[in-house]
Amino acid sequence: MKIVKKLFLNDKFILVIILINTFTIFFEGFEDTNPIASIIITYIDLFTTFLFIVEIVIKVKHYGRKKYIASVWHKIDVILVILSLPSLMLVFDFDMSKGLHYLLVFRIARVFRFFRFFKFIPGIATLMKDIKRALKTSVVILLGFVIYNLIVSVFSCYLFREISPEYFGNPIVSFYSMFKVFTVEGWYEIPDKMMVSSSLVKSFFVKAYFIGILITGGIGGLSLVNSIFVDAMVSDNNDELEKKIDELNRKIDLLITEQKK
Mean pLDDT of the chain: 76
pLDDT digits (tens, 9 = 90+) for 161-191: 888 888 898 989 999 988 888 887 778 888 8
Q: What pLDDT was estimated at residue 226?
A: 72
* Side chain identity at residue 55, one-letter code: E
Q: Is CATH 1.10.760 what the domain over 127-260 is classified as, yes or no?
A: no
Dump pLDDT digits (tens) for 27-61: 776 766 677 887 888 788 888 888 888 888 898 98
Could you give the CA distance from residue 206 to residue 198 in angstroms, rounded to a whole number?
A: 10
Pick the most confident of 3-17, 200-214, 215-229: 200-214
pLDDT attached to residue 84: 74
Q: Give residue 71's Cα distance to chain centre.
A: 20
User: Is residue 246 within a helix (H) or strand (E), and if so which, with residue range?
Assistant: helix 222-260
To which CATH superfamily is domain 2-120 assigned?
Answer: Voltage-gated potassium channels. Chain C (1.20.120.350)
The whole-model pTM stands at 0.51
Angle at which helices 124-160 and 222-260 cross, to 10°: 140
Q: How confident is the model at residue 225 (pLDDT cuts 50, 70, 90)?
A: confident
H or E stretch at 61: helix 35-63
Asked whether the predicted pLDDT for residue 211 surpasses 70, the reply is yes
- Percent of the chain past pLDDT 70, that is, above it, reads 69
**Which of 166, 78, 147 lies closest to 115 in space, CA to CA?**
78
Q: Do domains 2-120 and 127-260 have the same CATH topology?
A: no
Terminal Cα distance for the chain, rounded: 69
DSSP state of 121: S
pLDDT value at residue 224: 75
Distance, CA of 71 to CA of 60 (rounded, Å):
12
Domain ranges of the chain: 2-120, 127-260
Beta carbons within 8 Å of 39's beta carbon, 6+ residues apart: none
Q: Residue 16 contacts by C-beta under 8 Å, 6 or more apart in sequence?
A: none
CA distance 141 to 220: 12
Is 33 buried (19+), middle (13-18) or exposed (0-12) by CB count in 10 A?
A: middle
- Closest residue by Cα to residue 191 from 224, 214, 218: 214
